[in-house]
Structure 1
Amino acid sequence: MSIKRHASAHWSGNLKEGKGTISSDSGALSDQPFGFNTRFEDKNGTNPEELIGAAHAGCFAMAFANELSSLDVVPNDVSTKATVQLEEIDGGFKITRSDIDVTLDAPGADRSVIDKAFKAAEDGCPVSNALNAEVKVTLTVK
């Protein structure tokens, strides 16, 4: 099976004064504005790193829930938060890591089963595998 998803971006102008929009074919994003100030100055609006973080958090939550379910654990909640780090290196910028913090609510689940599912999700998350950056995943169990 091969699934293709599409997104697009448009940019006008130079880096500092220019403006762009990001859209996805699904319509979840439709001409969302972004610019230097939303990426490098923490102004309101989106940016590529935030979108990578959203994709990573969503993918890992699904992967972990799938691995848990394959071991007969149906979680009440898998919550994830991604922190994508962009650093200036040698005059350019590079995404150097993506950290995923996971909180699991699965009352009565055996910790060894949780850990086995967590490791499988950590190894198998498609977005984790797609990133060419250090990926660190942590788990908090309620």
Structure 2
Amino acid sequence: MKFTRTANANWKGTGMEGTGTISTQSTTLNNAQLSFKTRFAEGVGTNPEELIAAAHSGCFTMQLSFLLTEAGFIPEDLNTKAKVTLEDGTITLIQLELEGKVPGISEEQFQELAQKAKAICPISKLLNTEITLSTTLTA
């Protein structure tokens, strides 16, 4: 399967005082605000690191769901938090924190499939940084 997805960013003004927007092909993001404040402080809007975290957590969680299904397990609930660390202009770490409820699976099987999902998720393969994973299997 091959497909292409698009997004568009627009920026007006200087890096610190300027403002921008970002939109996605699906229109889930439609002129979402970008600014120095939303990237380096707090404010309403989004930023590239947050979008990477969203993409990575979504990709990893879907990949794990496929792997669990292939192994004969039906996940009841998978929740992944991705923490992206930007340090001195470089993304130095992404921490994936997974909590899952998967009936009938052992802790060992869950760990194994989660690690495989982390390794083969297309976003993981794209990123050139350390990626860690912690998991919690709930009953």
Q: TM-score, normalised by structure 1?
A: 0.93
Q: Give me the CA root mean square deviation.
A: 1.0
> Structure 2: where are the runs of 5+ without partners?
none
Partner Cα separation in structure 1 for residue 115 and residue 33 of structure 2: 37
Task: Name the structure 1 match of 2:72.
Answer: 72
Give the whole-Å Cα distance in 1 for the aligned partners of 2:29 and 2:14: 23
Shift of 1:81: 0.4
Alignment partner of 1:128 is 2:120: no
Task: Tell me if structure 1 keeps the 8 A contact 2:82–2:94.
Answer: yes
Q: Which residue of 1 aligns with 2:47?
A: 47
Post-superposition shift, 1:98? 1.0
Q: Where do residues 1-142 of structure 1 align in structure 2 (5 Å cutoff)?
A: 1-88=1-88, 93-142=89-138
Count of aligned positions = 138
Which moves more between the two structures, 14-23 or 42-51? 42-51
Q: 2-side partners of 1:43 and 1:50: how far apart?
A: 13
Equivalent pair of 1:71/1:113 in contact (CA under 8 Å): no
**Aligned sequence identity (%):** 39
Q: TM-score scaled by structure 2?
A: 0.94
4+ residue runs over 4 A deviation: none
